[in-house]
Amino acid sequence: MTETAELVTYRVEPAETGADGRVAYLTLNDPQRRNALSDALLDQLGALLNRAACDSAVRVIVLTSSHPRVFSSGGNLDAFADERATIVKYEGLARFSTLYRTLTSIGKPIVCAANGDVLAGALGIALACDLVIAKESIRLGCPEINVGAFPFMISALIFRATGRLVANELMMTGRLLSAPEAAAAGLVNKVVPDAEFDDAVRAWVADIAGKSPLLMGMGKRALAASRDLPLDSALDYLQAQLALAFTTDDLTEGVRAFKERRPPQWRNT
């Protein structure tokens, strides 16, 4: 099934594992503007993310691009320098924070399949995803400082993904990192030769889709909730989450399947 929005396409396909789960592919599709993060694109992307989140058959969400070389060029520069009132621009910026929060709060794994350059606000999108797989040829970075801006909002995501000195270099110099450099800095999970990228994405996503959707969702929400807690509070919270996991049918089934050396049959309960 394929549905095409004006700026984002939405496609759901079976996971290639023989399991019941499906994968939702959300593709940025404004190539003439290098997938600039306009208000309309952000609104459509947010709506489609929520659609995938509400589809119980979808186990994994993948973000990618239809542009042959650019995942997204980031925010719409024309909108930054236009004559709208500052308060109007401020309200519009909420779309970015809303999107970043949506990506982290959805109880399903979200993979950024970076098949082109990931720049500026789009780096925030990638880092708000759970996993990032990148073509070997792409670049990642936040060049805002080169046009008299600064990556204020995505700095919160950058500092959670890499060390302070690397983060400072990215934001203060505007230098773009190669995909291998980004992986070394902790900004990318996996770098794949361009010719192998599509197959690698499908294989990775199929593996993730084969896990228990219930425990995956519980785990993702627990990571988000505990990440910024003091250690003692985090340990108490995570102990409670583990105890809750012990009550699920999926944990029982997973242990039984492991002992019986067979694939688990998840019940999502």
Q: How far apart are CA 217 and CA 223, in angstroms?
A: 10
- Give, in order, the Cα–Cα distances in Å from 54 to each of 5, 24, 49, 61, 225: 18, 11, 9, 12, 20
Residue pair 12/20 in contact by the 8 Å Cβ criterion:
no
Q: How far apart are CA 21 and CA 58, in angstroms?
A: 6
Annotation marks residue 144 as catalytic = yes
Of 3, 83, 136, 144, the active-site residue reads 144
Residue pair 103/202 in contact by the 8 Å Cβ criterion:
no
- Give, in order, the Cα–Cα distances in Å from 142 to each of 134, 155, 227: 16, 10, 24
Q: Which residues contact 73 (CB under 8 A, 6 or more apart)?
A: 33, 34, 35, 36, 117, 119, 120, 122
Q: Which residues contact 86 (CB under 8 A, 6 or more apart)?
A: none
CA-based radius of gyration for the chain: 19
Residue pair 133/201 in contact by the 8 Å Cβ criterion:
yes
Residues designated as active site = 144
